[in-house]
Structure 1
Amino acid sequence: MRICMNWSSIRFDWNQARAFLVTAEEGSLSAAARALDLTQPTLGRQVAALEETLGVQLFDRTGRALQLTRAGLELLEQVRRMGDAAGEFSLVATGQSEAVEGHVTITAGDIFAAYLLPPALTRLAREAPGITVEVVASNAVQNLRRREADIAIRHVRPDQPDLIARKLGEDEARCYATGAYLERYGEPAGPGDLRGAVFAAYEPLDWFLSEVRARGLAMRRENVRVSSGNGVVLMEMIRRGEAIGVLGREIAALIPDARPILPGFSPIPVPSWLVSHRELRTNRRIRLVFDLLARELSG
C-alpha cells in the first residue's frame, strides 16, 4: 500500500528533510555528514527526529550500513522533489541580482586551474574588481544544480537540459618527453614496442591503460613508474625528465624541452566546455564571468 503523507499537518523542518535526502543519496551517515559539513551525531539526530515526526522508520540499520525501508523509498521521491524546488528557488533568486559585485565559484581540472585559468582571472580582476573568485581545482565533476560551483570547465559536454555549455576548443593529447628523458632512457621504438619506456599515468590506471591501448599504445603496468589522479604531479614528473606523459598541446607547451614522440600513437581528442546553469545566465555577475572566460579561454 502506498504511503501518503499530509505534509500540511506536520510541523515541517527542512533541515531534517535535507538530512534524510542527502543520507539516502550518499548511502551513509558519515558521507552525508561530510557533504553537509555537519558532525555525524548531529546528522543522525536530524534523521531520527524526522522519523519520530513522521512516525515511520526511514532506514534499516545494519552495523554502519543503511538501507532505505519501503516507507523511506516512497518518501524519498517526495523529498527529492522538494529539494529540486528549493534549488530552483535559489537559482531564480540569484538571477534577480543585477550587481557586478560578489562571489563566483569556478571548478576546473587541476592542471587547467593551475596553468590556464590564472591569466583569465587576472583579466577579470582588472575588468570587474568587485568580483571575488573561488577556484575549485578538482578533476571530479561538480554538481552545478546544487550550487557546488557557478561555472565549470569540463572535458565532456553535459547532457542535462538545464545546463548550458559553450565549447572553448579542442586539443589533442599525444605522448611527450623531454630531452633529459630521451638522453637517459632513449626513445621507444614505436607505440607497439615500449620495452624500457617509463610513463607517468593518470588514475584510475585501468581506465588510462584502456584508453591508450585502444589507440595503439602497447603500454603495460610495468611501464608505469608513477600514477596519480593529480595532473600537476604527473606534469612535474615529465618536466623533470623522469617519464613520458600523455598531454595536450597547450599543457605540453608549458614544459621546457618537451616534444612529441611516438608519432604512430593515435591522438586523444580533448575538448573543453564552459558550463553554467541556464538560470544563472540571467545574473549579471555570473554572465560577466562566463563571457570573459569564454573570450579568454577559447582557442
Structure 2
Amino acid sequence: MEQPDWSLIRSFLATARSGSLSAASRALGISQPTLGRHIRSLEQQLGKDLFRREATGLSLTALGLELLPMAQSMELAAAHLALAAAAESPELEGTVRITASRVVAHYLLPAILADLRRIAPGIQIELVPSDTSKNLLFQDADIALRMYRPTQPDLTIRHVTDLPIGLYAAPALLHLNGIPQTPDALLAMPIIGFDRNDQILRIMANIGITRTREDFPIRCDDQLVYWNLVRAGLGVGAMQTRIGDADPTVQRIAPFLQLPDLPLWLASARPLARSPRVRLVWDHLAAALRNPKSLDPGAELG
C-alpha cells in the first residue's frame, strides 16, 4: 500500500474531531468536495471505511478508532517540525500571532501593541481575542496570554503578574441602592453573574458566600458584554482594577471584600519561543503587563 499523503491525514483528523464534513472543511479552509475526496482517497488506500454516517453526523468505524492515535502522533510530529523551522528565522520581521482573553485584548493590548509597532515596525501582529484556549503546538497562536498556569507539555511559560480585581457599580445603581458598607448590604444589591461559566460562583464559595446562578438577575458569559451591563447600571460586577478604576462610568465599591487576584501567564511553544521575533514580542508583553503605568485602558473607554 502506498504511503498516505499528509493532507489526507489532516482531513481525516479534522473530520474525526468535528463529526461532519462541513465543519471539518471550515476548520481546514478547504471546500467540502475536496475534503470528501480526501476521505474517499484515504479509505480506498486502506481498503476499508473510516467513518459511518449516523443521524447526528459522522462517527469513526473500528478502523478509524484504531488509526486516530497514530494520526494524532503524525500531527504532533508535523507541528514540531513546523515550529522548529519557524524558530530558525533570525529576522526581526514577519508575523507573530497573539491570543488573549477578549477583555485583555480589548482594553490592555492596544496601547502595548502600539508601542511595539514603534519599536519593531517590521513585525506584523495578528491578535486573536478569544476566551477559549488555542493550541500553541499547532500554531493556532505563537504567544498566548492566559489567566491560569498552562499545563500543556512542550511550552515555555512565564508568570508575568497578578491582576487585582475589584467590584464596581454605576452611579445610577448606587443612587437607588446606596453605597454598600457591609457584606449584607452588598448582597442585597443586584449582582451580574456569568451564565454557564461557574467562575463567579466558585469565587464566592471560596470566601464563604453560597449562591446559585438563579441569584443573579442578569447573566452573561461574554465578559465584554458583562462589563457593559455593569456600566449600564444593571448590577454590581467585577473587573480588573486597572480597567475599572480608569472607567469614569462606574465607581469602585465594597473595599471590605477581598477578591483573589487573576494570575497572568505568557505561553509559547518551546521551539518557537527561541525565534528572535517571538522573543522580542514576548519580552515586550511581559515588561508592559508588569508595569500598569505603561497601559492606558481609559483610552478604550467611552
Question: Which TM-score band applies after superposition, normalised by the shorter structure?
Answer: 0.7 to 0.9
Match of 2:48 in 1: 56
Report the Cα distance in structure 2 between the residues aligned to 1:181 and 1:217, rounded to whole angstroms. Answer: 22
Match of 1:142 in 2: 134
Report the Cα distance in structure 2 between the residues aligned to 1:227 and 1:121, rounded to whole angstroms. Answer: 32
Matches within 5 A, 1:192-271: 192=184, 197-256=189-248, 258-263=250-255, 265-271=257-263
Q: Does 1:37 align with 2:35?
A: no
Q: Give 5+ residue unaligned stretches, structure 2.
A: 292-302
Report the Cα distance in structure 2 between the residues aligned to 1:94 and 1:271, rounded to whole angstroms. Answer: 29
**Retained in 2: the 8 A contact 1:194–1:223?**
no
Match of 2:112 in 1: 120
Q: Percent identity?
A: 39
Q: Does 1:12 align with 2:18?
A: no
Following superposition, the deviation at residue 84 of structure 1 comes to: 1.0
Match of 1:282 in 2: 274
The one-letter code of the counterpart of 1:43 is L
The one-letter code of the counterpart of 2:287 is R
Matches within 5 A, 1:27-176: 27-176=19-168
Change (3 A) 1:207 1:31: farther
Match of 1:5 in 2: none
**Retained in 2: the 8 A contact 1:19–1:43?**
yes
The one-letter code of the counterpart of 1:241 is G
The one-letter code of the counterpart of 2:81 is F
Change (3 A) 1:206 1:169: closer
Following superposition, the deviation at residue 220 of structure 1 comes to: 4.6
| Length, aligned pairs only | 291
Following superposition, the deviation at residue 64 of structure 1 comes to: 3.5
Secondary structure of the corresponding residue to residue 138 of structure 2: coil
Match of 1:3 in 2: none
Q: CA RMSD in A?
A: 2.3
TM-score by length of 1: 0.88
Report the Cα distance in structure 1 between the residues aligned to 2:131 and 2:14, rounded to whole angstroms. Answer: 22
Following superposition, the deviation at residue 190 of structure 1 comes to: 4.3
Following superposition, the deviation at residue 93 of structure 1 comes to: 0.6
Match of 2:16 in 1: 24
Following superposition, the deviation at residue 79 of structure 1 comes to: 1.4
**Retained in 2: the 8 A contact 1:193–1:218?**
no
Change (3 A) 1:267 1:238: same
**Retained in 1: the 8 A contact 2:166–2:244?**
no
The one-letter code of the counterpart of 1:79 is A
Q: Give 5+ residue unaligned stretches, structure 1.
A: 1-8
**Retained in 2: the 8 A contact 1:239–1:256?**
no
Secondary structure of the corresponding residue to residue 136 of structure 1: strand
